[in-house]
Amino acid sequence: MNKKEAREIPKLKLFNTLTRKKEVFKPIKKNDVGIYTCGPTVYFYQHIGNMRCYLFEDILIRTLKFNGFNVKRVMNITDVGHLTSDADEGEDKIEKAAKKEGKKAEDIAEYYAGVFFDDVKKLNIIMPDVICKATDHIPEMIELVEKLIKKGYTYETDDGIYFDTSKFKDYGKLAKLNIEGLEAGIRTEMREKRNPTDFALWKFSEKPGLRQQEWSAFMKMGFPGWHIECSAMSMKYLGEHFDIHCGGIDHISVHHTNEIAQSESATGKKWVNYWLHSNFLTFKGSKISKSKGGLYTISELEKIGFEPLAFRYLCLTAHYRSELNFSLEDLKASQKTYNNLKNKIIEFRKHFKTERIDSDENKEKTEEYRIEFLEVINDNLNTPKALALVWDIIKDKNLSESEKYELLIEFDDVLGLDLASFEKEKIVVPSEIKKIAEERLKSRKEKNFKKSDELRVKLNKLGWKIDDVKDGYELSKV
């Protein structure tokens, strides 16, 4: 048995916040994966901290695809209902920004969503398959609230319709609220709520006509709570039971906990199988947050001379579950390493041979690297180890440049550093050239060196260089 046969293809394992364990990923349907990722609240620019979260989700999606799964990814755009406090108090963030900037709420949302998707593209993040705006799904949200009313999970106060968390026995299972000391009682003031953890499914407008965005429902004017948006839209596009739900760790104790409570109460069954959360990007030890100004956006980093993909590289150097402290020095170092990587790719590309027969020994070596890459990336997306492997390959004296190039481009399907774009022209070997090369290989094997030399000259005259490698040949343009 050779080495390759002895090593198993590593299965994809993901850390599930729900169980606090790394689990082998098993989709509900054999090869199809449904995934919902909480999207931006578009009242301001998404800062580099937010973008770290979307980069983590991109690595997850690319890894699922690399493992052969068909992925359907849904991302929402929160353009109404997210209040300045997660505890159903304060102003609607979009309305507040519209007032401040003297604009229409929908223009605010459209502008910041546009900037966000520009940054998504700059970071080479694969666009979601479904992008859904909250304001386009108000009937679905009303329908979900109605279902909860009928099932007896709600009560009405002066300012809205609330979910009674004492009626959902598993409330807090995601955040393990009591275990982790996240006592519900310290979250919010009670006001008219029956329990401190109860939350608004639907809010009534304080004075109808004052808000730009309000809808008539439940006999009054009002607007959806932030949590109901994600439950309604995810179930619309992915069904009542789907595979993965993601977001930042700040969403575990309130937003995602409430999403689970209302979704599972409405359907009476388990909602999502795997919950994945990314840790924060911090600055001098504190979370980068919009309310504190957000530090930098991707465009701002560009203005001071950094490539967005150097920021992507920086994020890959830390595991998504660890905090990553941002500094311009570290970004500078990542830009330098990314430049070195690009130079290596350009150098390897020059030697890249599309028609190549590798020796068995090298085939085994490249296969080993492929398995090693899967081992690290399938081990809960270990991007720091994946990058270390990239540099091991670059330094490996036993691999040809061509083999290195091929491996790195392949792994870039997951890393997303856009390495293939450095390839100026793809080398396509015409069939007549391939025929001559094969004929020459045959003559060499038959030890007919005279004929083999003649065919080499012929290839040269046609503009092709042929190099002999163990058991085969490599073709490149002269």
Under rule CB under 6 A, residue 289 binds ligand AMP: yes
The four Cα atoms 334, 371, 63, 34 give a dihedral, to 10 degrees, of -170
Q: How far is the CB of 319 from ligand AMP (least distance, A)?
A: 13
* Residues forming the site for Zn ion (CB under 5 A): 38, 230
User: Residues in contact with ligand AMP, total (CB under 6 A)?
Assistant: 17
Amino acid residing at 344: K
Q: Interacting stretch for ligand AMP, rule CB under 6 A, among 28-36, 37-45, 119-127, 386-394? A: 37-45
The interface mask with ligand AMP, positions 290-309, x = CB under 6 A, is x-------------------
Under rule CB under 6 A, residue 52 binds ligand AMP: yes
Q: Tell me the C-alpha to C-alpha distance, in Å, between residue 291 and each of 19, 102, 183, 190, 252.
A: 32, 20, 24, 24, 19
The interface mask with ligand AMP, positions 436-475, x = CB under 6 A, is ----------------------------------------
- Which SS3 state, helix, strand or coil, does residue 206 take? coil
Among 12, 16, 18, 50, binds ligand AMP (CB under 6 A): 50
And the tokens for 80?
């109404």
CA 188 – CA 182 distance, rounded (Å):
12
Q: How far is the CB of 80 from ligand AMP (least distance, A)?
A: 13
Best CA proximity match to 466, nearest among 475, 458, 457, 454: 475
CA 278 – CA 298 distance, rounded (Å):
19
Nearer to ligand AMP, 83 or 288 (CB): 288
225, interface contact from ligand AMP, Zn ion, none, CB < 5-8 Å by kind: none
Nearer to ligand AMP, 223 or 280 (CB): 280
**Alpha helices for 73-214 (secondary structure H):** 93-101, 105-122, 138-150
Under rule CB under 6 A, residue 81 binds ligand AMP: no
Nearer to ligand AMP, 89 or 468 (CB): 89
Q: Tell me the C-alpha to C-alpha distance, in Å, between residue 270 and each of 36, 83, 201, 240.
A: 15, 28, 20, 8
Burial class (CB in 10 A: 0-12, 13-18, 19+), 358: buried
CA 4 – CA 264 distance, rounded (Å):
45
> Cα Rg for the chain, rounded, in angstroms?
27
Report the run of H or E that residue 247 belongs to, with start and end. Answer: strand 242-248
238, interface contact from Zn ion, ligand AMP, none, CB < 5-8 Å by kind: none
40, interface contact from Zn ion, ligand AMP, none, CB < 5-8 Å by kind: ligand AMP
Nearer to ligand AMP, 43 or 162 (CB): 43
Nearer to Zn ion, 259 or 355 (CB): 259
217, interface contact from Zn ion, ligand AMP, none, CB < 5-8 Å by kind: none
Nearer to Zn ion, 257 or 476 (CB): 257
Q: How far is the CB of 205 from Zn ion (least distance, A)?
A: 23
Residue nearest to ligand AMP (CB): 248
The answer to whether the Cα torsion of 91, 92, 96, 102 is positive or negative is: negative
280, interface contact from Zn ion, ligand AMP, none, CB < 5-8 Å by kind: ligand AMP
Nearer to ligand AMP, 153 or 280 (CB): 280
50, interface contact from Zn ion, ligand AMP, none, CB < 5-8 Å by kind: ligand AMP
Nearer to ligand AMP, 294 or 405 (CB): 294
Phi, psi torsion values for 326, nearest 5 degrees: -90, 135
Nearer to Zn ion, 38 or 113 (CB): 38
Amino acid residing at 424: K
Q: How far is the CB of 71 from ligand AMP (least distance, A)?
A: 19
128, interface contact from Zn ion, ligand AMP, none, CB < 5-8 Å by kind: none
Report the run of H or E that residue 24 belongs to, with start and end. Answer: strand 21-24
Q: Pick out residues in 247-286 that bind ligand AMP (CB under 6 A).
A: 247-248, 250-251, 280-281
250, interface contact from Zn ion, ligand AMP, none, CB < 5-8 Å by kind: ligand AMP
Going through 31-134 in order, the beta strands assigned E by DSSP cover 32-37, 70-77, 83-85, 89-92, 130-133
230, interface contact from ligand AMP, Zn ion, none, CB < 5-8 Å by kind: Zn ion
Under rule CB under 6 A, residue 38 binds ligand AMP: yes
Terminal Cα distance for the chain, rounded: 41
CA 77 – CA 113 distance, rounded (Å):
8
Report the run of H or E that residue 57 belongs to, with start and end. Answer: helix 48-66
417, interface contact from Zn ion, ligand AMP, none, CB < 5-8 Å by kind: none
Strands ordered across the beta sheet of 154-157: 154-157, 160-163, 199-204, 220-224, 215-217
Nearer to ligand AMP, 185 or 285 (CB): 285
Q: Which residues bind ligand AMP (CB under 6 A)?
A: 38, 40-41, 49-50, 52-53, 247-248, 250-251, 280-281, 287-290
